[in-house]
Amino acid sequence: MNRLKRGAIIVSLVDALREHGSWCGETNIQKAAYFLKEVACVPLEYSFVLYKYGPYSFGLTEDLTALRADEVLELKAPDPKYGPSYWPGSMAEFVKSQYQKTIAAYAPKVEFVAEKLGSKTVTELERLATSLYVRRKIETGSEQQWATRMHELKPHILVKDAKVAIKEVDEIIDDARRLAAT
Amino acid sequence: MAKHIHEIRDAVHVFDHLDSEERKVLDSRPFQRLRHIHQLAMTYLVYPGATHRRFEHSLGVMELADRVFRTITAEENIDNRVRKHLPRGDRLTYWRRVLRMAALCHDLGHLPFSHAAEKELLPKGMTHERITVDIIQSSELNDIWQNMEGPLKARDIAKLAVGPKEYPEDYEHPDFSDWERVLSDIIVGDAFGVDRMDYLLRDSLHAGVVYGKFDQYRLIDTLRVLPGNQDSETPVLGVESGGLESAEALLLARYFMYSQVYFHPVRRAYDRHLQHFLIEWKGKNGWPTDIDGFLQLTDDEVSVEIRQALLDANHPGHSNAKRLTDRKHFKVLYERNAADAKRNRQAAKAVFDAAKEKFGGDKVEFDNPPQKQSGVEFPVRLRDGRIASSMAESEVLAKLPIVAIEYVFVAPEIRDDAEKWLELNREQIIAAQSVEGDEQ
């Protein structure tokens, strides 16, 4: 998948997240892209590592920068609390028009992730995405093991909150399976 | 009696300090090799003073990392909202030493002339950062870590040296705890990494340009570990509001150094010739990655080979050796510009494709280094203790442009013809949008 094709999917993700009330800062996009890849199985080819607010792709950041340079996305209206947010730029419609089939193919999955994550705060997204990351790393672990590991990596995530996040991710994974089966 | 603390004169920081245990790292074979790796590859062919090496840069990074560590862990500077993330007592002492050694060793895996041709010369999946990790964990250095007070774990040093972006995922325990991530950000972080602070100051000094200067003293004095945002307890390197202007100056320095020095067209052209030469000489994936073989090759060996290739018309790198030595480097035919980019985002690529078709692939080069984001988001602690986003507090940061450079280079012998051809065909080439679209 080339950069502009990935960019077209990211722009459609930004649109969908906005429709579901997301602030659409970089953290919102990073976590949504992580779920898009790991849960909805969209082949975004980004590699995610654990970073400030959970799984993070440096490759996605590079793509976001390139998309801004090409005016496919733009950063707007910094808010003291939430920071800047991403909006479609002047070239967004052109790129989307070039990749209509790609966007249509992944639209149900993009909508699914946006619906699940669009209303979440950065703190909630950090818990959910870290929970998914940890269970991907310890595939045969138990809820207790996953929650303990989350707390080890991120001491501000309490074990009880980690368990709540693990349950929510379970539900998201189940819903994604149902979506894939339809 | 042996001297316990050693001072080394530094053109940027006046003195770098290290103790006798740390001195053993300095005197080791992997570190001494850095005396023979130019910090800025062949930039000295454009800026003659830029002949400094990774050796002194690495010492400078250690000195700055230590200053940042002492600032952020000073009792009066610890923000209670993130206090639980900071170790205390002996653990704090341990991590200070680990950070210093990671900073000192962060560049050990650089190939000769730094970044040139790394991707093509190393096997798939191998990077200079991975080699850095391997050298830090080699028995040669591990013996030193084991004898240091602690003792130090090689893996801890390696993780901080390269950070979460580059630490190999297939190595043991690749995930970073929040504390490890904060410490690695002190070295390689996008906002306040001291690797960048040192290279901006040092490159600026040696290249003889003033763009890279900023008030490092004020900036470091105001760095803090802060909650990532007002609602978060995630620890992130940030700054007191009083240091925001020096943070702006750092990021402006980065912007100007990229646009004026690192992406200078002649420098980029020489980089291309050097890359081609190295591949012609060693072959794709031809660089040794075993530690002994790797450590034997420096800029010196490459320079000797260039001289030999210059004298030997049958050497596979003869042509590029001539271009490097006789200053017959490729010249700019076309450069990305706002007016053309507004009409066609792929204008430079379109010019390259058309020029290649017209003049042949060996006479035309396309150079499009990754765009560099200039504004960076980090937490700012306001006077009343609230946390705000740097991009909201600083209009300068919010509006810093992205450094986006693209060059089409042509061989000097066809430059005049190519310029005339482009003048005649520019409109037609740029008018054709070249996005590949769904069908490709």
From chain A, the residues in CB contact with B91 under 8 A are none
From chain A, the residues in CB contact with B393 under 8 A are 80
Measuring CA to CA, which residue among B61, B103, B411 is closest to residue B269? Answer: B411
Q: What is the DSSP letter of A155?
A: T
Q: What is the CATH number of the domain that holds B333?
A: 1.20.1250
Query: Does pLDDT of B433 surpass 80?
Result: no
Flag whether B362 is in a domain: yes
CB contact under 8 A, A80 and B404: no
pLDDT, residue B229, reads 87
pLDDT, residue B432, reads 78
Query: Does pLDDT of B440 surpass 60?
Result: no
Beta strand pairing status for B235-240 and B379-381?
Answer: parallel
CA distance, residue A31 to nearest chain B CA (Å): 16
Flag whether B131 is in a domain: yes
Total domains present in chain B: 2
The two tokens of residue A134 are 């940890």
Residues B80, B28, single domain; the answer is yes
Task: Quote the mean pLDDT of chain B.
Answer: 93
pLDDT, residue A143, reads 93
Angle, CA B87 vertex, CA B390 and CA B191 arms, to 5°: 25
CB atoms within 10 A of CB B335: 15
CB atoms within 10 A of CB B206: 22
pLDDT, residue B436, reads 63
Q: What is the CATH number of the domain that holds B145?
A: 1.10.3210.10
pLDDT, residue B116, reads 67
- Residue B261 near residue B419, CB atoms below 8 Å: no
What mean pLDDT comes out for the span B155-169?
96
Would you give the distance in Å from CA A89 to the centre of its chain?
Answer: 20
- Residue B31 near residue B25, CB atoms below 8 Å: yes
Residues B52, B180, single domain; the answer is yes
pLDDT, residue B398, reads 87
CA distance, residue A153 to nearest chain B CA (Å): 4
Residues B169, B302, single domain; the answer is no
Residues B258, B357, single domain; the answer is no
Nearest-angstrom CA–CA distance, A116 and A56: 18
The two tokens of residue B234 are 């995630």
Nearest-angstrom CA–CA distance, A50 and B185: 13
Flag whether B345 is in a domain: yes
CA distance, residue A179 to nearest chain B CA (Å): 24
B263-301 burial: b if 16+ Cβ within 10 Å, else e = bbbbbbbbbbbbbbbbbbbbeeeebeeebeebbebbbee
From chain A, the residues in CB contact with B370 under 8 A are 62, 65-66
What mean pLDDT comes out for the span B366-383?
88
Interface confidence, given as ipTM, is: 0.89
Residues B30, B155, single domain; the answer is yes
- pLDDT-derived band at B403 (thresholds 50, 70, 90) equals confident
pLDDT, residue B111, reads 94
Query: Does pLDDT of B1 surpass 60?
Result: no
From chain A, the residues in CB contact with B181 under 8 A are 50-52
Residues B389, B310, single domain; the answer is no
Nearest-angstrom CA–CA distance, A30 and A22: 12
* Residue of A15 and B173 predicted with greater confidence: A15
Q: What is the DSSP letter of A48?
A: -
The boundaries of the domain holding residue B212 are: 5-263+383-393
From chain B, the residues in CB contact with A1 under 8 A are none
- pLDDT-derived band at B49 (thresholds 50, 70, 90) equals very high
Chain B contact present for A160, CB below 8 A: no
What mean pLDDT comes out for the span B158-181?
94
Residues B194, B318, single domain; the answer is no
Contacts 24+ apart (CB under 8 A), B416-421: B417/B359, B418/B333, B418/B355, B418/B358, B418/B359, B418/B364, B419/B333, B421/B355, B421/B358, B421/B359
Flag whether B135 is in a domain: yes
Measuring CA to CA, which residue among A76, A182, A153 is closest to residue B180? Answer: A153
- Residue B189 near residue B162, CB atoms below 8 Å: no
Chain B's closest residue to A59, CA to CA, is B165
CB pairs under 8 A between A and B: 119
Compare CB distances from A68 to B229, B231, B402 and report the shortest one's residue: B402
Which pLDDT tens digit goes with each residue over B98-113?
999 999 999 999 999 9
Nearest-angstrom CA–CA distance, B102 and A80: 34
CB contact under 8 A, A61 and B228: no
Which pLDDT tens digit goes with each residue over A74-105?
998 777 778 899 999 998 998 899 899 999 99
- pLDDT-derived band at B2 (thresholds 50, 70, 90) equals low
Which pLDDT tens digit goes with each residue over B191-241?
999 999 999 999 999 999 999 999 999 999 999 999 998 888 899 999 999
Angle, CA B135 vertex, CA B134 and CA B136 arms, to 5°: 90
- Residue B193 near residue B4, CB atoms below 8 Å: no
Compare CB distances from A69 to B230, B398, B402 and report the shortest one's residue: B402
Residues B247, B287, single domain; the answer is no
The two tokens of residue B174 are 């690749």
Flag whether B399 is in a domain: no
Residues B153, B250, single domain; the answer is yes
Flag whether B398 is in a domain: no
Residues B195, B298, single domain; the answer is no
What mean pLDDT comes out for the span B411-434?
92
Residue among A6, A26, A49 with most chain B CBs within 10 A, to mutate: A49
Query: Does pLDDT of A168 surpass 90?
Result: yes
Nearest-angstrom CA–CA distance, A4 and B319: 36
- pLDDT-derived band at B404 (thresholds 50, 70, 90) equals confident
Query: Does pLDDT of A181 surpass 60?
Result: yes
Query: Does pLDDT of A156 surpass 70?
Result: yes
Flag whether B153 is in a domain: yes
pLDDT, residue B3, reads 58
The two tokens of residue A18 are 């906005």
Flag whether B252 is in a domain: yes
* Residue of B308 and B440 predicted with greater confidence: B308
Compare CB distances from B232 to A50, A99, A123 and report the shortest one's residue: A123
Beta strand pairing status for B387-389 and B379-381?
Answer: antiparallel
Nearest-angstrom CA–CA distance, B246 and B259: 20
Angle, CA B118 vertex, CA B174 and CA B66 arms, to 5°: 50
CB contact under 8 A, A62 and B371: yes
- pLDDT-derived band at B434 (thresholds 50, 70, 90) equals low
CB contact under 8 A, B393 and A121: no
Nearest-angstrom CA–CA distance, B79 and B70: 14
Residues B282, B138, single domain; the answer is no
pLDDT, residue B286, reads 87
Residues B92, B207, single domain; the answer is yes
SS (H, E, C) chain B: CCCCEEEEEECCCEEEEEEHHHHHHHCCHHHHHHHHCECCCCHHHCCCCCCCEHHHHHHHHHHHHHHHHHHHHCHHHCCHHHHHHCCCHHHHHHHHHHHHHHHHHCCCCCECCECCCHHHHCCCCCCHHHHHHHHHCCHHHHHHHHHCCCCCCHHHHHHHHHHHHHCCCCCCCCCCCHHHHHHHHHHHCCCCCHHHHHHHHHHHHHHCCCCCCCCHHHHHHHEEEEECCCCCCCEEEEEEHHHHHHHHHHHHHHHHHHHHHHCCHHHHHHHHHHHHHHHHHHCCCCCCCCHHHHHCCCHHHHHHHHHHHHHCCCCCCHHHHHHHHCCCCCEEEEECCHHHHHHCCCHHHHHHHHHHHHHCCCCEEEECCCCECCCCCCEEECCCCCEEEHHHHCHHHHHCCCECCCEEEECHHHHHHHHHHHHHHHHHHHHCCCCCCCCC
Q: Amino acid letter at A87?
A: W
- Residue A24 near residue A85, CB atoms below 8 Å: yes
Q: In this predicted structure, which of A162-176, B67-81, B141-155, B341-355 has the lowest mean pLDDT?
A: B341-355
Query: Does pLDDT of B300 surpass 80?
Result: yes
- Using a pLDDT cut of 90, give the percent of chain B over it: 83
pLDDT, residue A180, reads 86
